[in-house]
Amino acid sequence: MKAACRLGQLGGCFLHQRVAGRSPLGRQNLFQSTMVGSTVGATVSRDAHANQVGVGQGNALAEAEELLHGAANDPAKAASLLMEVVETCPQSRLAWARYITALQWSGAEQKAAEAARRAAESGVFPSMYQRPVHVDTRIPELGAFPLYSERYPHVQSAIEAIESWVSVHRVAMLNEMELAERLKLESDDAHGENLAERTATEPSAQDKLSDNAAGHRSGWSHFVLSELYTEDALCEFPKTATLVNMLIHEYRLPVLRARFSTISPGTCIRRHCGPTNRRWTIHAALKVDEEDEGLVSLLCHEELRHVRTGGLNELKRNRQAMLQYITDSYSPANQRIEIKYSWKQGGVILFDDSYEHRVDHRGRNTRSVLHIDFVHPALFECH
């Protein structure tokens, strides 16, 4: 590899590290479409009023964030603080989202479900299982289904292209991921801290809640890439950068972010919702050992009454996904679905991460994927 391509330009280049609490990269670094940029940005100001709180409530929110995502790790105390915030600011999505998360993480399942139902019924969230902080309500399709859609042929074509590319270049892409790991450019989402759950050993401050029963160091790591259209990126990460550029230019997929994501054996990523319903997420499985197939799973939830028949029929045709109908013991009238999808090496999962989801790794080997976020295709249809 050429010395000139070595990451001496890391400060403003294409691999970003989360530093001093700032986002790992600008959300629109990979945008190639001004139309999409303006469409996504159009609802930001409308979101702002739904998340405004007073000074006192803002301080309580900041303290609760530290209790949830920082070294303190006290979700029960965070829930107590946030309960007052949601009572004072009942339309703040941020406050409700953090309150429900705090209840879930502290084990107060029934209270969490009741809070989610109350927030959904008052119009704060699209449903009790789709709880993004930023919600676009203009387009019904933005809340259609948590996993996969055949409605958009160009997205299906992109998925087929990814599977074809990975089948040929998987080993090279794993080597590129290892390069990112060697450079120690690990990055986390702002809400991603403390999501990896540990049950067997005394936690550390950094990796406090990940299951280490099998004797492995458990956890969830991200290596975020940006500006993949640059010459440096194409030199350092040729297969990954070429794939992302192909998706943008040949398949009209407006990519927001690309990153490598690894989960160690025994890790359980706790239930959470992504930040917005204006995007979809692709996982291309680069490493899932054969012995672990069926043991590393993504689980999504939604209320049955919100799910369209077409979406259910589509899911039933997906042989890699399992569908369960669940009636909650604390609310027999509320029937929900749980979708379980197990990663398979070389396969692709497409899902909407604004829905509540979690990950269970019950296998023996590290799972690695290329994670790509892109603008929800329904946003194109409003033009």
Residue spans of alpha helices (H) in 194-303: 231-236, 238-250
β-strands 367-375, 357-361 pairing: unpaired
Beta strands in the chain (DSSP E): 15-16, 196-197, 220-225, 255-263, 268-272, 279-287, 296-303, 321-327, 335-342, 348-351, 357-361, 367-375
Q: Are 274 and 353 spatial neighbours (Cβ–Cβ below 8 Å)? A: yes
End-to-end CA distance of the chain: 44
At 325, phi and psi to the nearest 5?
Answer: -100, 125
Q: What is the DSSP letter of 134?
A: B
CA distances from 345 to 32, 283, 285, 325 (A): 30, 11, 5, 27
Confidence of residue 182 (pLDDT cuts 50, 70, 90): confident
pLDDT in tens, 58-72: 888 888 888 887 777
Q: What is the DSSP letter of 28?
A: T
pLDDT in tens, 6-33: 332 322 333 433 322 333 333 333 333 3
* Of the listed ranges 88-97, 219-228, 267-276, 280-289, the one predicted with least confidence: 219-228
DSSP string, 305-340: GGS-HHHHHHHHT-TTEEEEEEE-TT-TT-EEEEEE
Residue 214 has a pLDDT of 40
Look at residues 377, 379, 383, 355 and name the one whose alpha carbon lies nearest to residue 150.
377
Query: What does the alpha-carbon distance between residue 241 and residue 235 come to, in Å, rounded to a whole number?
Result: 9
Q: What is the pTM of this model?
A: 0.79
